[in-house]
Chains A and B, each alone.
Chain A
């Protein structure tokens, strides 16, 4: 098995707003760590979760799938998901797949 790649996750929670900042590579090896971080934050029942993708260096198709699943989950569970628009070339993945227009992207993270 591949060793979990270099993904750093910073997790913040304040007044019902959560924020995850992702740095490094999000792929099939590191997705379980994103899932775990999301679950840990959602346990506190925030009404909004922002995922800051600006420091993210790489995303593959399974990483993309993870965000689609997360958006579906936000719809079902009734909280708001915000994805902070990443740099090129990670943004290119969302553009090639036209996921950019289907996922809740914002340019700046909402204040905590």
Chain B
């Protein structure tokens, strides 16, 4: 799968996304980058990122960072979230948060940066600092003034006494803590209050009361850093992200009297950030591999614990049979539990429940409450029920993986240990993930099917490998048409006839089993005929006769080459003539002969050529010249001639690669016809030990 698709996804990411090469030269610039920095993609691509988005005074240090990274020294910038100053096109500066990752590409690197404008957050921080100052001043003044100020704040504020009790909370804080009054709060055990929530740091470490900034202040720590925490209220399962900042209230003697905590709910912005990061990583993963089982496993792995404690992916076939393909849990030892549970789940889904309902309706299903009755109903026996209980499901979200309106699978997100529930935003996010995963599966399947066709065809209709031909280097290529489930009509073969070698390349009109039958007839007729008389014209005459005996019109084009040392004899049965890439230029050689199987009156002229060292012959099928490009234009003879002029003298493998690359560049839409090519280069003396063909490169390559 290609970078293009990943970029399409990245284009709608919530952060600016910039890719650059190891020189810092911009190679990709998404829409959000355009908005953030004020440069359009056209303006940005090709320019140096440092000159584009970094204020002059920081450029030196950043260049040094690039240099160090390339020298292998690493840099503090890579794979870490850092805050920097960005520069807009209009010269204004603004604070940004940057995450850079480096991808190794051969012996060089590419860099990819997510950049978020954090002006608002920085402004909010400043405002908070101001309020905090005001609060301290107010504390020194009258009680009423304090009350008035803090109650008007949207942010929750608490004051903790040296004995850890919360002695004050403003209105917002009381709501958060589920307390009716300050009196009730003051009499509550602070550890019990904390116990109503499960609390983690951003990295997933559990947080105890002693870790909170206010408590650490009271223990004498100077200015503990603000903490970003993920909290889940145990009674409701609601998830929140909060930012805690604490400040000390000191007596005139400087002794600490209380700790004020400001609690800002940053759930919305944190989720947004997590989701863009997740989607960006998922996009990269989905685009990175055609092995969809592995890809889905990677995506499931990403979803925990960002979205759920468990994540499973099932693919559903047309009969409604499910195939579990991936499951992930934060704790790998729990994955085993999932596989044990799987044994209890019927392979056949039912339209009225669970995954079956998602498949039947194409809509997500959300259970934010899993009562014991539901488990009992679902369990087939006591052991099953025990396993279900062991999972400890709190909430389950099932979303469809849809491709062109058809549901090809489901992704299950299960919340257990974290006890969080899923909201509408989670459902939407999960659907986005599922949509991308579905596309990845579809692409991988198409690829797999086409690879399957090519394998089948190569096994039956193509030689397993090109032989080693003394004095010649060989390369061949076969690309079946894009259409699914069809065996193509192009073929080639190479075999020995006495001292000589015979090469046949052809195209049977039509596709499918019928074409395969004709191909087989043509090859066997040619083999048999060559035992008596290996002249190319004789072979074509026998093949023509065999095809003419068939009850229905069976036509075929074929080119036959007889290779005798450095001499090649060519005859064509209605097939495009071979190209000679010689010292004196590029030219088609030979003369046209009659299409095989078509006419009573037929004639196959033979022509012989002697190739010098380094000269090549290339035989193709019409799929090459008939390749359709933009505006329905065909690749054609002249483009092919120009291409051959460029590769004159190159190795057969290099010629093959150049032709494939040129066709892929030219082609618009799906490949309509089979395409085959055989290239051979005269490498040296035939007689004697020196005349071995190169075996260093794979003789046959299927490029699909």
Q: A residues near B, CB below 8 A?
A: 1-2, 6, 25, 27-28, 58, 60-62, 64-65, 68-69, 72, 89, 95-99, 101-102
**Contact partner of A98 among B511, B592, B622, CB < 8 A?**
B592
Residues from chain A with a CB closer than 8 A to the CB of B602 are: 98
B592 with A95: CB separation less than 8 A: yes
B553 with A98: CB separation less than 8 A: no
CB of B595 within 8 Å of the partner chain: yes
Residues from chain A with a CB closer than 8 A to the CB of B483 are: 1-2
Q: B residues near A, CB below 8 A?
A: 483, 507, 509-511, 553, 555, 557, 572, 574-577, 592-595, 598-599, 601-603, 622, 626, 632, 634, 636-637, 672-673
Residues from chain A with a CB closer than 8 A to the CB of B599 are: 68, 98-99, 102
**Contact partner of A62 among B509, B576, B592, CB < 8 A?**
B509
Closest A residue to B673 using CB positions = A60
Measured between alpha carbons, how far is A103 from B373 in the docked complex, in Å?
Answer: 81
A99 with B553: CB separation less than 8 A: no
A99 with B574: CB separation less than 8 A: yes
Measured between alpha carbons, how far is A102 from B602 in the docked complex, in Å?
Answer: 9
B622 with A65: CB separation less than 8 A: no
A61 with B507: CB separation less than 8 A: yes
Residues from chain A with a CB closer than 8 A to the CB of B574 are: 96-99
Measured between alpha carbons, how far is A60 from B632 in the docked complex, in Å?
Answer: 14
Residues from chain B with a CB closer than 8 A to the CB of A98 are: 574, 592-595, 599, 602-603
Other A-B pairs, 7, CB within 8 Å; known A58-B626, A97-B592: A62-B509, A68-B595, A89-B636, A96-B572, A96-B574, A97-B574, A98-B594
**Contact partner of A60 among B576, B595, B626, CB < 8 A?**
B626
A58 with B592: CB separation less than 8 A: no
Measured between alpha carbons, how far is A99 from B507 in the docked complex, in Å?
Answer: 16
Residues from chain A with a CB closer than 8 A to the CB of B509 are: 61-62, 64-65
Measured between alpha carbons, how far is A69 from B603 in the docked complex, in Å?
Answer: 20
- How close is A24's CB to chain B, nearest CB, in angstroms? 9
Measured between alpha carbons, how far is A98 from B571 in the docked complex, in Å?
Answer: 13
Measured between alpha carbons, how far is A6 from B632 in the docked complex, in Å?
Answer: 10
Measured between alpha carbons, how far is A27 from B636 in the docked complex, in Å?
Answer: 16
Residues from chain B with a CB closer than 8 A to the CB of A95 are: 592
Residues from chain B with a CB closer than 8 A to the CB of A101 are: 601
**Contact partner of A68 among B555, B557, B601, B632, CB < 8 A?**
B555
- How close is B680's CB to chain A, nearest CB, in angstroms? 21
Closest A residue to B600 using CB positions = A102
- How close is B481's CB to chain A, nearest CB, in angstroms? 10
- How close is B509's CB to chain A, nearest CB, in angstroms? 4
Measured between alpha carbons, how far is A69 from B552 in the docked complex, in Å?
Answer: 10
Given A60-B622, A61-B507: A2 in contact with B672 (beta carbons within 8 A): yes
Given A96-B574, A96-B575, A98-B603: A61 in contact with B598 (beta carbons within 8 A): no
Residues from chain B with a CB closer than 8 A to the CB of A2 are: 483, 672
A72 with B553: CB separation less than 8 A: yes
Closest B residue to A95 using CB positions = B592
Measured between alpha carbons, how far is A69 from B599 in the docked complex, in Å?
Answer: 11
Measured between alpha carbons, how far is A2 from B481 in the docked complex, in Å?
Answer: 12
Residues from chain A with a CB closer than 8 A to the CB of B622 are: 60-61
Residues from chain A with a CB closer than 8 A to the CB of B553 are: 65, 68-69, 72
Given A61-B507, A68-B555: A97 in contact with B595 (beta carbons within 8 A): yes
Query: Can you pick out 13 interface pairs between chain A and chain B where the beta carbons lie within 8 Å of each other?
Result: A6-B632, A58-B626, A61-B507, A61-B555, A68-B599, A96-B557, A96-B572, A97-B557, A98-B574, A99-B599, A102-B594, A102-B598, A102-B601
**Contact partner of B510 among A58, A62, A89, CB < 8 A?**
A62
B598 with A99: CB separation less than 8 A: yes
Residues from chain B with a CB closer than 8 A to the CB of A1 are: 483
Measured between alpha carbons, how far is A44 from B572 in the docked complex, in Å?
Answer: 41
Measured between alpha carbons, how far is A58 from B510 in the docked complex, in Å?
Answer: 17
B673 with A64: CB separation less than 8 A: no
- How close is B315's CB to chain A, nearest CB, in angstroms? 25
**Contact partner of A58 among B593, B595, B601, B634, CB < 8 A?**
B634
Closest A residue to B508 using CB positions = A61
Measured between alpha carbons, how far is A11 from B626 in the docked complex, in Å?
Answer: 28
Residues from chain A with a CB closer than 8 A to the CB of B626 are: 58, 60
Measured between alpha carbons, how far is A27 from B593 in the docked complex, in Å?
Answer: 22
B598 with A68: CB separation less than 8 A: yes
- How close is B576's CB to chain A, nearest CB, in angstroms? 6
Measured between alpha carbons, how far is A62 from B572 in the docked complex, in Å?
Answer: 18
Given A96-B576, A102-B599: A65 in contact with B592 (beta carbons within 8 A): no
Closest A residue to B637 using CB positions = A89
Measured between alpha carbons, how far is A99 from B574 in the docked complex, in Å?
Answer: 8
Measured between alpha carbons, how far is A54 from B510 in the docked complex, in Å?
Answer: 25
Measured between alpha carbons, how far is A102 from B557 in the docked complex, in Å?
Answer: 16
- How close is A67's CB to chain B, nearest CB, in angstroms? 10
- How close is A83's CB to chain B, nearest CB, in angstroms? 14
A64 with B595: CB separation less than 8 A: yes
- How close is B488's CB to chain A, nearest CB, in angstroms? 12
Measured between alpha carbons, how far is A68 from B555 in the docked complex, in Å?
Answer: 10
Measured between alpha carbons, how far is A60 from B490 in the docked complex, in Å?
Answer: 14
Residues from chain A with a CB closer than 8 A to the CB of B575 are: 96
- How close is A36's CB to chain B, nearest CB, in angstroms? 19
- How close is B558's CB to chain A, nearest CB, in angstroms? 11
Closest A residue to B510 using CB positions = A62
Residues from chain B with a CB closer than 8 A to the CB of A27 are: 672
Measured between alpha carbons, how far is A96 from B577 in the docked complex, in Å?
Answer: 8
Measured between alpha carbons, how far is A62 from B575 in the docked complex, in Å?
Answer: 14
- How close is B448's CB to chain A, nearest CB, in angstroms? 20
Residues from chain B with a CB closer than 8 A to the CB of A64 are: 509, 555, 595
Measured between alpha carbons, how far is A108 from B634 in the docked complex, in Å?
Answer: 27
Measured between alpha carbons, how far is A95 from B637 in the docked complex, in Å?
Answer: 15
- How close is B463's CB to chain A, nearest CB, in angstroms? 23
Measured between alpha carbons, how far is A31 from B408 in the docked complex, in Å?
Answer: 35
- How close is B590's CB to chain A, nearest CB, in angstroms? 11
Measured between alpha carbons, how far is A77 from B509 in the docked complex, in Å?
Answer: 25
Measured between alpha carbons, how far is A61 from B510 in the docked complex, in Å?
Answer: 8
B673 with A97: CB separation less than 8 A: no
Residues from chain B with a CB closer than 8 A to the CB of A102 are: 594, 598-599, 601
